[in-house]
Structure 1
Amino acid sequence: MTQAATGEPGYVVEAADMARDGDAAIAVWRASLGHAEGRAAKFEWFYHSAPDGALLQLLRHGSDRDVVGTAGVGWRRMQANGRALLGGLLADMAVLSSHRMLGPALSLQRTTCERALADADLVYGFPNPNAVPVVKRLGYAHAGDMVLYVRPLHHAPYLARRMPGPMARVLGGFLDLATQARDHLRARWPGGRARAHWCEAMAADLALPEAGDGTPLQGVRSRATLDWRFRRNPLANFRLLQVCLPARGANGAWFVCHRAGDVLHIADMIIPDGASLAQCLAALSTTAYAMGCQSLSIECCLPAHETSELHRSGFRERQRRPIYVRWKDPGLAGTPLRFTAFDEDE
């Protein structure tokens, strides 16, 4: 098994044996990353069941070669400008607190990135603020932001934060009526009324957007990958909403949704070429309102025209997280992104 020295005595980085080292990696995650109850399921799902596979690097220490850190990469088929690419999604970077020295941790990340780029065209991740200086040292560059957008559906709870409850309920009721009337109108234009319904599985004749010149970097959404990423995900329950567009027959839009309390979160969306995102969102909003949801949310990095459609549909920015990318070919730096939760690992 290939090893890499860390420059720090007693530490070495090597590829994991998935059958032998799983328990040790899970123990590191439980101690370092939280959400202990889902870590074993995450290992099985992400490292054993992914359609395109994954790799896992281990930081070992001492004569007993104890596992004290991990860094994973999930392979993702991607495309940009009509070109097929292989991406590596950084995941599960964790080092036990007693071993969090810069040298070993930096070597773990450097080795993982270099081994990923031996096969992939790019490696990307979503580092927390403390990790940003480290990924910059490793040659990653800021490529965009995952922006959380939120749209109220039932307005009274939001207004009650700023005015007396009775006034909030009255004004909120008027706003609800106005926004729902707008959604009903938008759902009917262009081309006739868009109708939404929940589905158990993705349609066999799923129509994906064209991947021609000028398209941003985005994950390839095959039916197998969508099924693995969402329906078989052990960490959350997702539902599929199809929006049928009369002018397009069976080739409608798809939203992958996850409900958390009173919020319906849009995890992914597939909009046919030339279709109106605002029309599709209007149909989704009407469905969510009828379910009693107080708000819609989506976290994404979208091209400007889709961001404009979100704003037009009443979504407003709440917060953002940076996306960092390292390309094998530096000439591809600056490629715009289209990322949703589909492109993450949980």
Structure 2
Amino acid sequence: MGLPRHRSEAAGDTVPPLETSPDRGYARGRGLKGPHPWPIPSIRSTSSPDVGDADRESFESKFQWIYRDNPAGPAIVWILHDEGSRRDVGLATIFPRLFRVRGRSVRAGIAGDLQVHEGHRQAGPALQLERAAVQGAWERGIEFMYGFPNALAEPVMKRIGYRRVGPRARYVKILRTAPYFARHRGTALWRRPFGFIVDQFLRARDLQAARPSKRKLASGPLAGFDDRFDALWGEVSDAYPVLGERDSSYLRWRYPTVGREAHGVFGLWDRGTSDLRGYVVHRRQGGSVDVRDAMAPADPEIWSALLAAFSGWAWGGGAHSLVWTGLQNEMLEQLCLKRAAFLRRPDSLHVYAFPGPSVAAGDPDFMNSAPWMLFQSDDDCP
């Protein structure tokens, strides 16, 4: 995104509750306390934030895409207005996202772009913006909020009421060992033959994993997201307790297959019926391939066939590793990641969520991370 994401500087300000002004349609702070006094601001909700003129052409396409074209609904933006200078000095955004939660369709919101002008970067403005955004989310039918905050934004989200769902994790699968052996000191004489032996073992393991399904399943790159993706979504939508909706309209919007930020699509399908059994959305990053999204029925054999076939395809394209980032997920690890030889790498960041009143009252186990299937691409970043 052209807008900085989750930028704030925490301080010791105390922000009072917000009250809605029905005649003007925005919330107004009644007062502020803290070591950094600043003029009493107002917050208003809008659909078109002031983005300025810098990089206008490249920004506008992204703005149209993520703020206006989202199939779950347009983004909701709150702007912090300094009445003393009559300037807009900050904004906070909610990006709608549809989820399936234990068989029920739920409208969620992503805590997205948070930007506060340099002269107003005490904790107070950021907190007031985010609190207004959360309050407005509940009023607009959003049932829970979630986000992937950076280290600066975590304290702000905690003070608003977000709670930690679980750690973020990077799952890495090594396809070629040369880049990793090259990092270690020592003679190069042993690296090539030893690396060759290890690489052959890794390749044989994937071939063995893919062999049982080859008679009935085929795999390869796909041109895009057709109606078969809707049929697969209908099959898997209730198989995972907490999962973002992934029908073809969402996938086409979220993962463009042409242009500067194009994604590739790899599929696994039934040889007899051509029905889709699983897919991987990916993007090349140097020598590695990022797994941006993946889905299959909750069947270890299908997942094993999908990831083995995709690993072989990526290996054939010269990749040295696969990287899959998201909420640490024991269910997914047991279902497919360990079988496919993905290794969990430590990550210092966490995923946060804020259940709304209806979810908090009706699902006391909602914040248990075990049922969640959440990938980094479920965030608002392209």
Q: Which whole-Å CA distance do the structure 2 matches of 1:41 and 1:59 have between them?
A: 24
How many residue pairs match? The answer is: 335
Q: 1:245-275 deviations in whole A, cap 9, x for unaligned? A: 5587422211100001111111000113435
Contact 1:240 1:254 in 2 (8 A): yes
Contact 1:219 1:342 in 2 (8 A): no
Q: Hey, which of these two has a bigger chunk of helix by percent?
A: 1
Contact 1:191 1:245 in 2 (8 A): no
Show the counterpart of 1:231. 256
Contact 2:147 2:353 in 1 (8 A): yes
Show the counterpart of 2:14. none
Which of residues 62, 72, 77 in structure 2 aligns to 1:52? Answer: 72
Show the counterpart of 1:76. 97
- Structure 2: runs of 5+ lacking an equivalent: 1-23, 33-38
Contact 1:126 1:322 in 2 (8 A): yes
Distance 1:189-1:81 versus aligned 2 partners, 3 A rule: same
Distance 1:146-1:248 versus aligned 2 partners, 3 A rule: farther
Distance 1:237-1:165 versus aligned 2 partners, 3 A rule: farther
Structure showing greater radius of gyration is 2
Show the counterpart of 2:372. 337
Pairing of 1:128-139 with structure 2 (within 5 A) = 128-139=150-161
Contact 1:3 1:12 in 2 (8 A): yes
How many angstroms does 1:22 deviate by?
3.8
Q: Which amino acid aligns with 1:199?
A: L
Contact 2:148 2:350 in 1 (8 A): yes
Mean CA deviation greater in 188-197 or 113-122: 188-197
Report the 3-state secondary structure (helix = DSSP H, G, I; strand = E; otherwise coil) of the residue aligned with 1:205. helix
Distance 1:289-1:232 versus aligned 2 partners, 3 A rule: closer
Mean CA deviation greater in 185-194 or 67-76: 185-194
Q: Which whole-Å CA distance do the structure 1 matches of 2:86 and 2:372 have between them?
A: 40
Q: Which whole-Å CA distance do the structure 2 matches of 1:234 and 1:4 have between them?
A: 40
Report the 3-state secondary structure (helix = DSSP H, G, I; strand = E; otherwise coil) of the residue aligned with 1:52. coil
Distance 1:187-1:159 versus aligned 2 partners, 3 A rule: same
How many angstroms does 1:146 deviate by?
2.7
How many angstroms does 1:133 deviate by?
2.1
Which of residues 333, 337, 355 in structure 2 aligns to 1:310? Answer: 337
- Structure 1: runs of 5+ lacking an equivalent: 31-35
Give the root-mean-square deviation of aligned CA atoms. 2.4
When the two structures are superposed, what TM-score results if normalisation uses the length of structure 1? Answer: 0.88
Pairing of 1:288-303 with structure 2 (within 5 A) = 288-301=314-327, 303=329
Which of residues 306, 315, 322 in structure 1 aligns to 2:350? Answer: 322
Report the 3-state secondary structure (helix = DSSP H, G, I; strand = E; otherwise coil) of the residue aligned with 1:215. coil
Q: Which whole-Å CA distance do the structure 1 matches of 2:136 and 2:146 have between them?
A: 13
Report the 3-state secondary structure (helix = DSSP H, G, I; strand = E; otherwise coil) of the residue aligned with 1:15. strand
Q: Which whole-Å CA distance do the structure 2 matches of 1:120 and 1:232 have between them?
A: 30
How many angstroms does 1:218 deviate by?
1.1
How many angstroms does 1:298 deviate by?
0.6
When the two structures are superposed, what TM-score results if normalisation uses the length of structure 2? Answer: 0.81
How many angstroms does 1:231 deviate by?
1.1
Mean CA deviation greater in 324-333 or 106-115: 324-333
Contact 2:103 2:241 in 1 (8 A): no
Show the counterpart of 2:196. 173
Show the counterpart of 1:271. 296
Pair 1:42 & 2:67 matched: no
Contact 1:147 1:299 in 2 (8 A): yes
Mean CA deviation greater in 130-139 or 331-340: 331-340
